[in-house]
Structures are given as C-alpha cells and as structure tokens.
Amino acid sequence: MDEARIAELLVPFLVKLPGRDRTTGANDPVSLSPHQLTYISIYIDLLLKWNARVNLTAVREPEEIVTRHFGESIFAARHLPEVKEESVGFKPHVVDVGSGAGFPGLPIKLWAPQVRLTLIESNQRKATFLREVVRSLRLSDVEVFAGRASSFTGFADFVTVRAVERVEALLPVAAGLLGPAGSLAMLVGKGQVKPVRNLLPDLEWSEAVDLPLSFNRVLIIGSKESGL
C-alpha cells in the first residue's frame, strides 16, 4: 500500500493529546518515520495475502485496515507514554492477549521498538502468521506464544486486549499477567466499559477515551497499584 496514503490515513490518530505534560512535549502531534510507514505497508501486504486463506480479520479494505487496526493500536500506544521511555536497561514488557492478526501488539512494537513484546494467540494458523510478520519485519524481542493466556507464565508492564469475547473468563487471566504497577489497556465497545470495570474493581480505571473515527469503540486503561 502507498506509504504516503498510509501517513494521511493515520493523521487523526496522531493529533495532539489533551492533558499531557507540556514540559515533555508528549502532547504534541507526532508523525511516523519513513521506516515505520514501510513496515506498516509490508505488514498490510502480508495481511491481505494471508487473509485470503486464513481468517485473520473481517476488515478487508486496505484503507480500513490502516485506520481500524494500525490507527487504533497506535492511538492506544500513545496513551501509554511509558512504553516509549528509553531509560538505560529499561525495556517495558508488553503482552498482547488474544493477538489474532497482531493488533494492537505489533503496531505498539513499531511505535516503540525498544519494548519486549509477547503475542499470545492460541490459534496455530494465526500464530504462524504472526511469526511470519515478525520474520519479514526483522523485529527483535518479540515472542509468539501459541497457547492460551492461562498457560503463559510471566508478568508484564502492560497487557493489551482488543475485541473481547467471553469477557468474564478472559479478563481475570489478563489481569493476572500484570506485574507490580502494571497497566491493562483495552480497546472495547462502549457497552463493555461498565462490565469490564465491575469484573476488575481492584484496578484504578481511567476515563474511557473515544477512538478517532469511531462512534462506539473506546480505550480504557486499568492500573495496578505498586505492590498489589
């Protein structure tokens, strides 16, 4: 897909974020580098090719793939500013539960290359696709765990979940992967916000943030207090 068009489509997801610290510049509008746009273009080509034989996503139009998948994922990453911290020796660990075609996990990795990323996907064919993307983009510090989240051993600084099904069973498992002071970032429908908060009352939940270009989907983040 044309990289200039990708950049144009992503503009609504890269605009200035209200409420950020002005001293850090974190609230400024941003843009993607030529390398990042190239990676997204390659990723889309792979997704379209594989989607013809493996049901990776119901979104078939390339431009909608850019906005629904890449735009929303990068938008979520921008609300987790710690993932871009470049402190010496600090590599935030992001675990993407039920990764499917790799969203939001892989775009977060493209946005913040220094993170350690684990993609949890129990469907073996989808896991094979994820490994192909990782190989094609030559991404480092990315693990594809081809199993259920309940079987994964390890803890994360950030856990991401998107398009939640069987929410009652999944969310306690996802929250159980959080390390001390970890955060759970979820891309969900507005109708799921209250049930999610009720299921995980011990997390400190942010206000829901509307996703650009969407009437119904929001981002919510639940944070775990240090030591809990």
Q: Is position 76 within any domain?
A: yes
Residue 120's CB is within 10 A of a number of other CB atoms, namely 26
Q: Is position 137 within any domain?
A: yes
Question: Has residue 21 got a pLDDT over 80?
Answer: no
Q: Is position 144 within any domain?
A: yes
Place of tokens 């993607």: 32
Q: Is position 179 within any domain?
A: yes
Of 111 and 225, the one with more pLDDT: 111
Total domain count for the chain?
Answer: 1
Place of tokens 């850090």: 24
Task: Quote the domain boundaries for residue 40.
Answer: 3-223
Q: Is position 45 within any domain?
A: yes
**Percent over 70 (pLDDT), the chain:** 91
Give CA–CA dist 216/157, Å, rounded: 27
What tens digit of pLDDT does each residue of 159-206 get?
999 977 777 888 999 999 999 989 999 999 999 999 999 999 999 999
Residue 135's CB is within 10 A of a number of other CB atoms, namely 10
Give CA–CA dist 157/144, Å, rounded: 17
Task: Give 148's contacts (C-beta < 8 A, 6+ positions apart).
Answer: 120, 122
Domain CATH for 202? 3.40.50.150
Q: Is position 73 within any domain?
A: yes
Identify the three-state secondary structure at position 55. coil
How many H helices and E strands in the chain?
8, 8
Question: Has residue 88 got a pLDDT over 70?
Answer: no
Q: Is position 228 within any domain?
A: no
Q: Is position 214 within any domain?
A: yes
Identify the three-state secondary structure at position 27. coil
